[in-house]
Amino acid sequence: MMSNQKYKRTNFEEDEVSVGGTPPPGDLNASVIFKNSLSVCRKGRTTLECILFVLIGLFSIALIVMGSLLAIKGKQIDRMKGNGQGDEVCLMPECVTIAGSLLKAMDRSADPCVDFFQYACGGWIKSHVIPSGHSRWGTFGVLWQENQVIMRQVIERPLNSTNSTAEKKAMLYYQSCMDKNKTIEELGAKPLLQMLQSLGGWSISNSSGFWDVKTFDLQKTLQQMGISVLFSIWVAEDDKNSSANILQIDQAGLSLPEREYYLNKTISEDKVLTAFLEYMTRLGVLLGGEENNTREQMLEIIEFEVQLANITIPNEDRRSEEKLYHRMTVKDLQNMAPFINWLDMLNTLLSVTNQSFTESEEIVVYAPEYLQNMTVLLRDTMSTEEGNRTLRNYLIWHVAKTMAPYLSSPFRDARKILTEALSGTTGGEELWRYCISDTDDVMGFALGAMFVREAFTGDSKEKAEKMIQEVKTAFKKNLPSLSWMDDKTREAAVEKANAVIDLIGFPEYILNRTKLDKEYERLTINASEYFWNNVRNLQFVMMQNLEKLKQKPKANVWDMTPPTVNAYYTPTKNEIVFPAGILQAPFYDPYFPKSLNFGAMGVVMGHELTHGFDDQGREYDKFGNMRQWWNNASIEKFNDRAQCIIDQYSQYKLNGENIKGKQTLGENIADNGGLKAAYHAYEAWVQEYGEERPLPALNLTHRQLFFLGFSQVWCSTSTKEADHLQIVCDPHSPAKFRVIGTLSNSMEFAKLYNCAPGSPMNPVKKCEVW
């Protein structure tokens, strides 16, 4: 019954939406634009441009050869600095290569004042096809693949290459996924059927004799399952007292990513619901069901989930943390939602940790209205034998679809039906890539230790820390210019920014063999038991989470593994985290011009910092406690500016579908604030160290390159299905509008690119929060 907690951290980049089980490892994120080779002449180039491109290409080859003999690694490219006026073109190998990569990604035939995304990324989009097994492809995706290569190199080494038992377990898990002995294929459905039999069987499969619809016990079934169905339960910091952990409950239970996929749809006519039914039927048949009977019962499950979708609160209406938070006793919960015995349910969960509750124990409920409506829905459903059968089938279906990805290839192939309908993904990526991502999901800090030793060397951590401080300083210096804030709130905002904790690269304990081994000592991994490895991991994760209940929250606990190409902010800890995986080109490279480093990684840092002050983050004080620390007048003015952002992004359309400005508000505020803070930080750097020498062929200043570097991070292409999925589910705006929306609010951008007032990239009305 455990699940991940509700929306508590804010990621820089969206994750691939999972369709049950482990998420497809493909569309995680990542790329290295600046490692591409120089571009060749393309249609639309002038003769002079073509000649220049060819000369640059030839010249770069010669320079790279010379550079391999003369360049001294480990030094920052101080040679990027000129005579203080920035008028000497940099012709060092790094500069030529970087310029060529930037040019190759661009479409210089596009007007930057009309569509800067096309101008910055048109060349990249034209030259990149979405790989098999992915629904979108961009700069994040390529970098993740490069990280996968490094992880493969270290995890495929012999077991005796490490003395760490945790690292050996990661190697064994990877081996169980790769399944070179074909154990998974030989077992077929047996492991899952065995699990279903332990739960009393399933009427859809051939184990129907194990249970009687007349004696169906909802309480007993829920307590046996161990996964989140109907509602989710977890332990985390108390929003209003971040120094203590508390048990928390929220809505859950839909198989499809969002309620909108169920509502006002006809199964026979809707592509996704048709694929969903086909997938469910095929999975049931693989588990021994008769096709027609299976289809009929699966249709009943979908009809039940439609009713569940109708009482599920949409994400865009759940953005106020203060309104969601309801602290109550277990007795209060029982009176509000008596469809099960909550005290028994919670004590059954806690029994694995030798803890127990009384009815006076306090918990936090985030969806009281949902649970009240659930009571009515279940009462009506369980009033007939047919309803009892449907409800039990629904519960067991969730076990089956969660565990099916760990079975043989027919089970994995069955899910592709739904994946293609939801995201447009076709084909599949190489098995080793899937297994690397899967191992990162299960044993990411053991695998991360190997990754860090192999790839995260030098002084990257120290340089990133310095850049964060520069961005923080710029953010704080901008606060006095915000006329809408009162002085007391502004002072408190400075204090909160000063209190933000920075975690960079990786948690230190993973390089301590004793501490790392202790982290995974209770997790048993066997190279021939892929399915049961994952069962044991679910139990292990549940145990770890529940044990936190009577403990004080630990400091500096990472939610992302070191190889991850992403970053996040946690409001209850007032903490920003930047894994080693993202501290690479194109986000950061010591050999890049500072303009590009600040435009890419600097904006990531500013983005996460600004999350502490977006519509949700601003509800938490510097200690991570939810309370009102703003003046009421400032709150009202903040809300006015936030509404401007909502209205602006709601006007953007992708494939004829409007972006959800309210759902994406927090990320849009963070994008805008992060860009502004990073640009001011770069200007401060220039004032201290002087202008950088221009890059060749681009005819752009470094201040212009700042905005180009920011934009090229988001170069990407995606299927129409993936676009719709993102609009429906994701708190992030699509990549194109993360560029256009943010830049069109920047006066500095408009001035530097000479965009006339009223042009698409320089609208007269601009939105500004931070």
**Enzyme catalytic residues:** 608, 671
Q: Are 566 and 29 spatial neighbours (Cβ–Cβ below 8 Å)? A: yes
DSSP string across 479-534:
GGG-TTS-HHHHHHHHHHHHH-EEEEES-GGGGSHHHHHHHTTT----TT-HHHHH
- The half-sphere exposure of 753 on its side-chain side, counting CA atoms within 13 A, is 27
Amino acid identity of residue 624, one-letter, is G
Distance CA(277)–CA(281), nearest Å, equals: 6
Q: Give which of 713, 675, 762, 694 is closest to 13, Cα–Cα.
A: 713
Q: Is 323 exposed, middle or buried (0-12, 13-18, 19+ CB in 10 A)?
A: exposed
Distance CA(718)–CA(734), nearest Å, equals: 10
- 3-class SS letters over 185-205: HHHCCHHHHHHHHHCCCCCCC
Amino acid identity of residue 376, one-letter, is V
* Neighbouring C-beta atoms of residue 127, cutoff 10 Å: 12
Q: Is 762 helix (H, G, I), strand (E, B) or coil?
A: strand
> Phi and psi of 335, rounded to 5°?
-70, -35
The structure tokens 């494939």 sit at 655
CA angle 425/429/433 to nearest 5° reads: 130
Q: Give which of 304, 297, 360, 295 is closest to 333, Cα–Cα.
A: 360
State the sign of the Cα–Cα–Cα–Cα dihedral 532, 538, 154, 449. Answer: negative
Q: Are 622 and 495 spatial neighbours (Cβ–Cβ below 8 Å)? A: yes
Give the gyration radius of the chain's Cα atoms.
Answer: 27
